[in-house]
Amino acid sequence: MNMQAEDAVILSFIELFEASHSAHLDSKKSINLLESKLNGPAGVVQALLERVWLETSTSPPSVDSPTPVQGDHAVTVLSYLVEKYSTSYMSITSQLVRQDVERRFSSSAMDTDDAIDVSEALLAALTKLLIAPSSDDQTRIATDVNAALLCLCKYDHYKYNKGRVAQRLLAALHMMWRNIQQNASRELSSGQIRIASLVIDIALLGDEEFSYAILDEGGGCILDMLMHLALDIPNDDPLLQMSAIDQLERLSAEPAHKTRLEFLLGNDLLRDGLLYLVGGNEDKMDAVNGPAALRLITEICRVGVSSSPTLSIDESVLAKFQLLLKGFHEALRQFHPQGEMERLSFIHAVSSLFASCSVMACSPSSETTKSTSELTSFILQDRTLLHDWLSLHTRVAQPKLKSAVLCSIAQVLEPSSWNDESSNAQQTSSDAQTNTRPNDAIALQLYQAFSDANGSRDATDLLLASAKSPFVEERLGAYCLFKALVMRGAMLQLLLLHKDESGDISVLVWLLNHQNESTTEGRLAKYQIVNTMMSRSGTLIRGLIPDKMARELQLWIEKGPAYTKSIPWEMATE
C-alpha cells in the first residue's frame, strides 16, 4: 500500500472516530478498520511513524486533495492510540519509535545536510511514556523512550552543537516532574528516577546541555529538584533518596566539562546536603545514605584533582570547594569503618581528600593555596587518620585491601594515574607537567607517613615486601605505587639509594629478576615501571647505577614486556 492509500485509511479512521465520539458510541469499529487495513497495531504505528518527521500540512483540505496526516497530526493520532488502547499500542510504539529514531539519527546521519525537525508535540508525547502506567513492560517501555529521546539530543549536540532539543526536552521534563510531585503518589517515585536518569544523560553531553539543566527560569532548575530529592532532611523515602544520590554521582564522570565541574565543586546546596549526610558538621553519619554521600564526595574530589587544573576554575568556586574539603575532613575523622566495603570506601575517601588538598596547595594561581596548605599539613599530622588509611598491618590476609592502600598512595603522588592506564604507558615527562600534582616535599612527607603508619619500618622495604607477596592483587598494588614513584625524580633517587644487605640497589635487583612474576599483567606492570623510569629519567639513572644494570634495563625496553633473561644451561642443572 502506497502512502496516499495509507493516508486515506488513516483519514477514514479519524472520520469514523469523530463520528463515534460525537454520538457517544464505542470507537472499536474504527480501530478495527485501521488495523485490518494496515496489518495490525505494528503496521499502524509504522505507518504513522513515517509521517511523524514530515512537516505538518498547512494547506486547506479539499474534496480532491484531503489534508495528509503528517507531522503533528500523525503524532496526535499515535498519542490517542497509545492512551486509548495502551495494552495493544504502548509497548510496540515505544519499541518502534526507538528503532526509527536510532535509524534516522544515527552517527551516519550526522554526515548529511538534511535537517529533521523535532516538534514540541513529539517531545511531549514521548516524555509521557517515561512514566507510563504500571504494566509488565513498564521498565522496557521507559528504557526505549529514554534511548530515543537521548538519541535526539545527541544528534542535535553533535550535528549543530547548540543543545536546542535538550533545552526544550528539559523544560518538558521539568514540568512533568512538578506534576508528579503535586500528585504525591508513592507509586510515581520510579517515574521521578526515570526523569532524573534522562536529565543526567542529557547534562553529560556538554556545557550547553548542562547549562540548560541548571537554568533557573523563575521556578528553580531541574537539577535543583534532583538535589532536593537526594539531600532534603528529613526524608521519608530513604530508598528513593539513595537512588537520587546515585544519579548525582553520575555527574562526576570524566571528561568533566567546565560548567559541570564548577557545579560539583561550588554548588552550596550540594555541598551542605552531602556534608550533613556524612556528618561533616559534627553530626553522625546518616545510617542509610551516609555511605552513598561519602562516595559522591570522594568522586567530586577525584574529578576536581584530575580536571580542575586544566579547566581554569574560578577562584570563588575553589573557595567553596575548600569548604567541602574541610567538612569532609571532619567527617572522616569521626568515621570508623567496619568491614571490607567500608574500609575500601574509607581508603578511597581519605586519599581523594588528601590529593585534592595537596594539588590545590601546589597550584601557583590559586588564592586558596595558603589555607589548603594548612589543611594538607594538618592531615599529615593527623596520625590516627593516616594510620587508618596507610596501615598494612591491620589488613593481614586481605590482599585486596592492601592493594587498595598502595594504589591510593600512587594516585595521590601522581594524579595522572587516575586516567586511562593505556595512555599512561606512553606518557612523557612533558605530559606530567600538564597535570598539577603534589610537590616533592609533600610526596616525601606522605612516603614517610606510610612508614610511620606501619611501625616505622622503611617505606621501600614495605613496598618491596608487597611486591614479593604471593598474592597477585597485592603485587599489582605495589607495582602501581612503584610506577608513581619513578615518575618523580626525587622519589626515584630515594629508591636508587636503597641498598640490600649485599650493597646492591634492592629495587633494581628485584626489577631485573624476571622469575619473580609469573602473571601476564604482573610482567606488563613491571615493564611499565622500567619504561617509565628510563623514558623520564634515563640520564639520571645511568649516572647512579652500574652500566651492566643500565644495559639490562635498556634491553628489556627494546624486547618488550614478554622479555625474560635466559639462564645458562649449566646453572639451571646445578
How far is it, in rounded angstroms, from Cα 202 to Cα 212? Answer: 10
Give the angle subtended at the CA of 431 by the CAs of 428 and 436, to the nearest 5°.
135
How far is it, in rounded angstroms, from Cα 539 to Cα 186? Answer: 67
CA 29 to chain centre: 51
Peptide bond into 470 cis (omega under 30): no
- Are 172 and 157 contacting, i.e. CB atoms less than 8 angstroms apart? no
Q: What is the DSSP string of 488-513?
A: SHHHHHHHHT-B-TTSSBHHHHHHT-
Q: 570: exposed, middle or buried (C-beta count within 10 Å: 0-12, 13-18, 19+)?
A: exposed
Q: 611499565: which residue's cell?
A: 528
- The structural domains of the chain, with segments of one domain joined by +, span 1-84, 491-572
Q: Measuring CA to CA, which residue among 301, 297, 294 is closest to residue 318? A: 301
Write down the pLDDT at residue 486.
94
Contacts of 472 (CB under 8 A, 6+ apart): 519, 521, 522
Grid coordinates representing 372 are 589548603
Grid coordinates representing 533 are 623510569
Helix ranges (DSSP H) in 315-368? 315-333, 339-361
Whole-angstrom CA distances from 63 to 60, 66, 372 are: 10, 6, 79
How far is it, in rounded angstroms, from Cα 124 to Cα 120? Answer: 6
Residue 327 phi/psi, 5° resolution?
Answer: -65, -35
- Are 308 and 357 contacting, i.e. CB atoms less than 8 angstroms apart? no
- Are 402 and 392 contacting, i.e. CB atoms less than 8 angstroms apart? yes
Grid coordinates representing 342 are 567500608
Q: What is the DSSP string of 167-191?
A: HHHHHHHHHHHHHHHHHT-GGGHHH
Q: Virtual CA dihedral for 70, 73, 74, 80, nearest 10 degrees?
A: -170
Q: Measuring CA to CA, which residue among 166, 196, 202 is closest to residue 181? A: 196
Task: Report helix, strand or coil for 46.
Answer: helix
Its pTM stands at 0.85
Write down the pLDDT at residue 421.
43
How far is it, in rounded angstroms, from Cα 442 to Cα 445? Answer: 5
How far is it, in rounded angstroms, from Cα 467 to Cα 478? Answer: 5
The b-or-e profile of 424-442 (16+ CB within 10 A means b, else e) is beebeeeeeeebbbbeeeb
Contacts of 273 (CB under 8 A, 6+ apart): 227, 230, 231, 232, 233, 293
Whole-angstrom CA distances from 260 to 232, 243, 400, 512 are: 21, 20, 33, 46
Q: Measuring CA to CA, which residue among 245, 351, 362 is closest to residue 298? A: 351
Residue 545 phi/psi, 5° resolution?
Answer: -120, 160
Q: Helices 440-452 and 399-413: crossing angle, nearest 10°?
A: 160
Mean pLDDT by 10 residues, the chain (574 residues): 67 60 56 83 90 71 59 87 89 94 78 71 91 77 95 88 87 91 72 94 94 83 94 88 96 89 95 92 84 95 78 85 94 89 94 92 69 88 94 77 96 77 41 65 96 95 95 96 94 91 88 90 95 89 89 91 67 46
How far is it, in rounded angstroms, from Cα 130 to Cα 146? Answer: 7
